[in-house]
Amino acid sequence: MRLITYLKQLHEFQQLDKNEQLYLIKLNLLTICFFHSMFIYDPRTDSYHEENTNDPLFSGKDWVKTLNKEFHLEMKQLRNDLLEIFQMDNIITRLFFIIVLFSHQVTLNQSSQCILTDIDSPSIFKAQNVFIDLVYRYCLHQYGPFKAPVLFTRYVNKIMKMQQLVDEIKYTINDYMDTTELSPLTQSLLV
């Protein structure tokens, strides 16, 4: 709920109609949650927990039990790669977080059922492009014309890897658990 509250505060998100907002949240919330989880992971305890909250503790063992060990290891490696990149600049982290929110049809699995044919709004692409342009211009300003494209490509590559892991969960979750036991909201995110 905190993530949704944050998203609703963005001017570009507020400019979208309610159907577009709902569509983007449903399509990207799981990816955003994964992105967020990488920053609340504590490697010393192998657990995920946001400080100063009453959120339940989720451990690496829970990932292994829920899905499999390989998935957890890939998540940890991706987390390390992203943190190495983002440690350079926290502003880029925030901008990519927002870019992921405005990602339209970013799923790497072409059989995605979440892609709605009636949502093909230029306003979604316009909002996303505002932040893509902003992060690229920021990289150019901060790191120069030679380093900026390399950094930008690394960021995008890792975000796509994260999307690949989210897609893997969405399309194989039924192999690991009975999704009818999940809350309706969680079930809707896995569609």
* 108: helix, strand or coil: coil
Within a domain: residue 36? yes
User: Could you write out the DSSP letters of every residue in 24-80?
Assistant: HHHHHHHHHHHHHHTTSEETTTTEE--TTS-PPPEEHHHHHHHS-HHHHHHHHHHHH
- The answer, yes or no, to whether residue 49 has pLDDT greater than 70, is yes
* pLDDT, mean of residues 68-89: 81
pLDDT 10s digits, 86-142: 776 778 888 888 888 888 755 555 444 444 445 557 888 888 888 889 989 999 999
For 97, the token pair is 């977080």
Sheet of 58-59, strand order: 41-42, 47-48, 58-59
- The vertex-133 CA angle with 129 and 138, nearest 5°, equals 150
Q: Is residue 5 part of a domain?
A: no
User: How do beta strands 41-42 and 58-59 pair?
Assistant: unpaired
Average pLDDT of the chain is 80
Q: 150: domain range?
A: 20-50+59-189
Return the pLDDT at 114. Answer: 47
**148 occurs within a structural domain:** yes
Number of domains in the chain: 1
- What's the pLDDT at 112? 46
Find the Cα–Cα–Cα–Cα dihedral 15, 159, 83, 94, rounded to 10°: -10
Domain assignment present for residue 4? The answer is no
Taking only the tens place, the pLDDT of each residue in 13-32 is: 998 888 888 888 888 888 88
Give the DSSP letter string of 155-171: HHHHHHHHHHHHHHHHH
Residue 159, domain CATH: 1.10.565.10
